[in-house]
Each structure stands twice: as C-alpha cells, then as structure tokens.
Structure 1
Amino acid sequence: MDFIVGGVAGVGAGFFSNPFDVVKTRMQLQGELRAKGKHAVHYRNIPHAMYTIVKHDGVTALQKGLVPALWFQLVVNGVRLGIYQHADDFGLLRDEHNNTKFVNSLFFGCISGMCGGLCGSPLQLVKTQLMSYSSEKIAVGTQHAHTGMVYAMQKIYNKNGLAGLWRGAHGMMLRNSIGSAAQIASFAVCKEWMDDNNVFQQSKYMSSFMASNIGALGKTVFLTPMDVIMTRLYNQAIDANGRGVLYSGIIDCAKKITQSEGLLAFYKGIGPSYLRQAPHTVLLLVFWDMLKDLQKNIELHT
C-alpha cells in the first residue's frame, strides 16, 4: 500500500508541473555543445519559451510527454516513497525520541531514489524525446519524431532491444539518488522541526507545505547539473550499435559540456526547473502526507 500511496501522490503532482518540464527540457538542450553566442536562442526565459512553444507548436505542446511523465511519476515515486516509508516503518530512520536521523534519511532517500530511477528510466527516456520534439523553426537537440509513448517504446525496442530502453539509466539513477536524498531528507527534518516548535501550525498540512518548499529548493540546487547531463544522454542520437553519437556516458558528457559551453551550462534551465520542482514537490509531499493519513484512517476502521 505504501508504494501505491507514493505513486498516486506523484501522478497528482506531475500533471500540474509538466509544462515547466517541457520548457526545462528545451532550455537544457538549447546550444548543445556550442559556445555562448554561437547558437540560435529560441528560448530566452520562461515566459518567452512558453510563448514561443505555443506560437509554433500550439498550446497542447506545453503538455508534450504527459502520458509517459505520469507513468514515470507513478513508477518512480511509488518505488522511492514506498521504500522510504518501509524503512521508516522498520525503525531505520528515527532515534529513540522518534526524531528523524538526517544521515539515515539522506541514505535511504538516496537508495530509494536510485531504485526508482532504474525502474522508471525507459519512461524518462521517452518523455525527454517527446518533449524535445518541435517545429523545425524552434528545434533544439536531436529530433526523434515519435508520435506517442507506445510508438516510441516500440521503435526503440525494435531497433536496440531492451538495452535501448534503458540507455542512459545510469544517469537517471545518479540524478534521482541525489534529488531524492536532498528532497526527502530536507522535507522530513524541516517538517519535524516545525511541528516540534509549533511553527506554521495554522492548519494540519501547513508545515508540510512550507517544508516541501524548502525540499524543492534543495532538490533544484543539487539536481540541476545532473539533470542537464541526463537530458543530453537521453536525447542524443544513437549509432547502429545503440551507442550515443555525442556522449559515451556521464563523465564524457560532463567533460564536453564544460569544454564547449562552460560550467554555467550545468545550470541551464534552472528557472523552469525550480518552477517545476516547487509545485511538484509541494503537491507530491503534501499529497503523500494526506494519503498516508487516509491510509491510517482506513486501517483503523477495518
């Protein structure tokens, strides 16, 4: 049941944050392996990016990749929040006073995030490629021209087998382990401190709301560099052997970005990334708290 609760919370949050994910993906691919000033800038900032996408691709383009995005949320958050909750249920996260141990929370947030990333990697691969596909006038990165999630998965599987669907999974696992640890640990400790010190207790979920905002900030800062690398790995073209044309792996990708675009390129798209992470994290963790309370009430009355 813990896995279902986590997955449903992720789906509810994913629907509202998807447009910012589209913008983030386009901005992270813009100017790929090109020095600043040596490439066309189709997406200058968040409002301009949204306007440009709607102008050339239509308003529905802001929800590109929504289907695999929601399945991704269901799988990844079901796995990671389920594992994290199980660790809490087994007494692995708290001390004798029932306070969260920050290091333990970081550790299990990292492990659960890594497991979720492995399970959800094919969905993230397809989602990234669907989100990046656009009108030729505003195209960035490799254009894969998938017509939908099922078509994309069949196309990738027919060409490269199961290994093709998990291409770039190591990047997703590292990204998700870092993001999950930062998000969950900061949320748990901040919420606990607020509850213990009677801060933001105006309503039952006010502390969850405030703590999740802090969790979103921490996640964005630590996650964005790895997020850029993951987006590049997923979206690159592949050769006949299923190997990436531009990058051979995480280290090669990081090296080439640094050499071609500079260190600041690792924070491309941080604006839409935060605007995606903030509502997503708030909705995810507040939904998670609410659903856990609902689960407890059901168990008490059965």
Structure 2
Amino acid sequence: MGLKGFVEGGIASIVAGCSTHPLDLIKVRMQLQGESLAPSPAAGAVLRPALAFQQSGSVAVPIHPPPRPGPIAIGVQILRSEGPAALFSGISATVLRQTLYSTTRMGLYDMIKKRWSGDTGVMPLHRKIAAGFIAGGIGAAVGNPADVAMVRMQADGRLPLAQRRNYKSVVDAIGRMVREEGLTSLWRGSSMTVNRAMIVTASQLATYDQAKEAILRHRGAAADGLGTHVAASFAAGIVAAMASNPVDVVKTRVMNMRVGPGEAPPYSGALDCALKTVRAEGPMALYKGFVPTVSRQGPFTIVLFVTLEQVRSLLKDY
C-alpha cells in the first residue's frame, strides 16, 4: 500500500513537470534578471546600482535603465535567439528531479497521511501541514543534484557562448559538476531547496486536501470529479506560489553561481544571497518571476492532482 503512493505520485509528477517545463524555464530566466547588478564580494559594502547620467545643457539627467522584459517577452526572446528546442533545455533533469524529489515527497505524504488520519481518513489542517514539511524536506534532500543540474541547464542560454556550460544531459551535468567542482556541488543550495520544498509541499498538498474536503462537504460525495479536482488544485497552486517565490529566487541564484578555482563565491550562502539581492535590487526582487511562477505553479498543480486522481482511479484495485 505504501509503495503504491510513491508510484501514483511519481507518475503524476513526471507528467506535470514535463508538460509545464517551458514555463519553469522562463521563471528561472526571470529570477536571474539583474543578478549582474550585485557587486562582487571584494567590493565590500553592498550598494544599490548607481544611475548613469547624460548631460542636458547644464543639467545632468539620470538615464533610467529600460524596463526588464516580462514572461511573454522572455519566451519570444528565447524562441528567436535559441530556437524552440531551447524551451525544453534541461528536460532530462526535470524528469530525474520529479522521479527523485516528487516521487519521494508524494509517497511520504501519502504514507504519513494514512498513518496520522487513522480510521476516519480525515486529518486536521495542522497535521497536513506538518506532513507536508516532513515529506517535502526529505524529498528535496534526495532530489537536490537533479535540481542543481536543471537550474544550470535552464539558465545556460542566457550566458555568452564562451561562458556556457553546454551540458549534454542531466547525467553529463552531474558528472561534470562532480569532476570540476567536487561532490558537494551537487548539494549546493540544498538548504534553500529543502526550505522551499517544505513550504511548497506543505502549502500545496495541504491546501489541495483541505479545499477538496471543503467542496465535498458542501456539495456531497457525488461532486468528487474533475471540476472539484481542478478547483482544489488551482487554489493549491496559488497558495504554493505565493509562499515559495522568495525562497525560489534565492535558490535559483545560489545554484546558478559560477565559482572559479581559487575565487570567492558571489554568495556565501542563502542568507547572504537574499541580503545582497534585496540591497542591490530592492525587496520586490524576491518576487521576480512571480507571474511565471503562478503561471507555471497553477497548471503544474492542476495537471499534478488531476493526473494523480486518474492514476489512483486506474490503480484502485491493485
């Protein structure tokens, strides 16, 4: 019975991850916008980027940087400069990540839920949240190497040709990271990955279960169909996106940072990255990529839970 939850959750997660991969890639590119504004560690104090000025008569007029492109513009930019296939950069890492991370978290959550709910089959919200924290944290620790590889493969196209890593696949990415940066590089940003996964899993799975139960209480067991699953998963996607975006921005930047031999890393850790990001770009920088996060998290969560319910229905006799 316990293994069945892992299989069901794994299948649903892989389907959801692959179908929404282009949206996740756009989100990663947006989260890395403006990162070059952060000064190097040797610069000492972290300051906001200075404005450039142009002379207009006897008055120096500040030149404001152009607005950063939104998700649609970035998607078009990727298509034009890198081609349609670039929208699926890192797809092999996504499959491995969902296989390791999401299969683990979904299966563990299902096991904990069954154990804690007892004969009633109903678990209070605080226990759902606690189960999500536990399952998400363990799943993230297992899947972190694939997560690092996925972020790097998705971000590679924004770099100059000479600086691109050009990983051939997730296996090549993990192998090169171990050879060039050491085994510990596979768990770079793992503290943020674990924190994000705990937040996402707790908010996503607990909200889905709570919303589904509320709808069924109001409308009766006969309403347990596609409409209810979509409504509950949409609510879960919005809550998860709002809760996890700041952690996700920091995680993306820490995982993507390039550290040369003998060089100090741009960020000493997650907290350092968060502080430098806020000081250099303002507090709202932690919500960079929020629109694509919601645009991705919503469809991902809907596909995840709708697929999960269908897989459960197919495997109910096993």
Q: Does 1:121 pair with 2:144?
A: yes
CA distance in 2, matches of 1:201, 1:145: 52
C-alpha contact (below 8 Å) 2:113/2:128 kept by paired residues = no
Contact 1:236 1:244 in 2 (8 A): no
More displaced, 127-136 or 278-287? 127-136
Give the secondary-structure state (helix, strand or coil) at the position aligned to 1:145.
coil
> How far does the alpha carbon of each residue in 1:200-228 deviate from its partner, in whole angstroms, 9 at most, with x for none?
96662321111000000000000100000
Q: Is the contact made by 1:208 and 1:286 (CA closer than 8 Å) also made in structure 2?
A: yes
- Give me the whole-angstrom Cα distance separating, in 2, the residues matched to 1:108 and 1:171: 19
Preserved contact between residue 76 and residue 116 of structure 1 (Cα < 8 Å): yes
Q: Could you say if the C-alpha distance between residues 187 and 36 of structure 1 is closer, same or farther in structure 2, counting changes exceeding 3 Å? A: farther
Is the CA contact 1:23–1:49 (under 8 Å) kept in the aligned structure 2? yes
Trace 1:174-253 onto structure 2 (pairs within 5 A). Answer: 174-198=195-219, 204-240=225-261, 245-253=265-273
CA distance in 2, matches of 1:47, 1:37: 28
- 2:268 counterpart letter in structure 1: S
SS of residue paired to 1:133: helix
Structure 2 match to 1:276 = 296
Shift of 1:143: 4.2
SS in 1 for 2:285: helix
Deviation at 1:199, TM superposition (A): 7.1
Q: Decide which structure has the larger Cα Rg and report it.
A: 2
Contact 1:7 1:74 in 2 (8 A): yes
The answer (yes or no) to whether the contact 1:14–1:70 under 8 Å persists in 2 is yes
What are the ranges of 5 or more consecutive residues in structure 2 without an aligned counterpart? 38-47, 52-63
C-alpha change, 1:36 and 1:197, in structure 2 (3 Å) is: farther
Matched, 1:18 2:21: yes
Compared CA separation, residues 289 and 37, structure 1 to 2 (3 A): farther
- C-alpha distance in structure 2 between counterparts of 1:175 and 1:143, whole Å: 27
Determine whether 1:289 maps to 2:283.
no
- 1:100, 1:188 within 8 Å by CA — same for their partners in 2? no
Residue 111 of structure 2: which of 79, 86, 90 is its match? 86
Moved more, 26-35 or 40-49: 40-49
Q: Distance in 2 between matches of 1:191 and 1:21?
A: 26
Asked whether the equivalents of residues 30 and 71 of structure 2 are also in contact (C-alpha less than 8 Å), the reply is no
2:69 to 27, 38, 44: 44
Q: Provide Cα deviations, 1:61-107, integer angstroms capped at 9, x if missing partner.
A: 111111111111121111001001111222x1x37754331000000
TM-score (norm 1): 0.89
**159, 162, 165: which one pairs with 2:183?**
162
- SS of the aligned residue for 2:95 comes to helix
Structure 1 residue aligned with 2:57: none
Which of residues 6, 9, 12 in structure 2 aligns to 1:9?
Answer: 12
Give TM-score scaled by structure 2 length: 0.85
Alpha-carbon distance in 2 for matches of 1:131, 1:286:
27
Distance in 2, matches of 1:30 and 1:263, equals 14
Q: 1:194 and 1:95, CA in 2 relative to 1: closer, same or farther beyond 3 A?
A: farther
SS at match of 1:296: coil
Quick one: which amino acid aligns to residue 287 of structure 1? T
The two structures, once aligned, show a CA RMSD in angstroms of: 2.4
User: Which residue of structure 2 aligns with residue 263 of structure 1?
Assistant: 283
Separation (CA, whole Å) in 1 of partners of 2:118 and 2:215: 18
Inter-partner Cα distance in structure 2 for 1:26 and 1:282:
23
Q: Match for residue 55 of structure 1?
A: 80
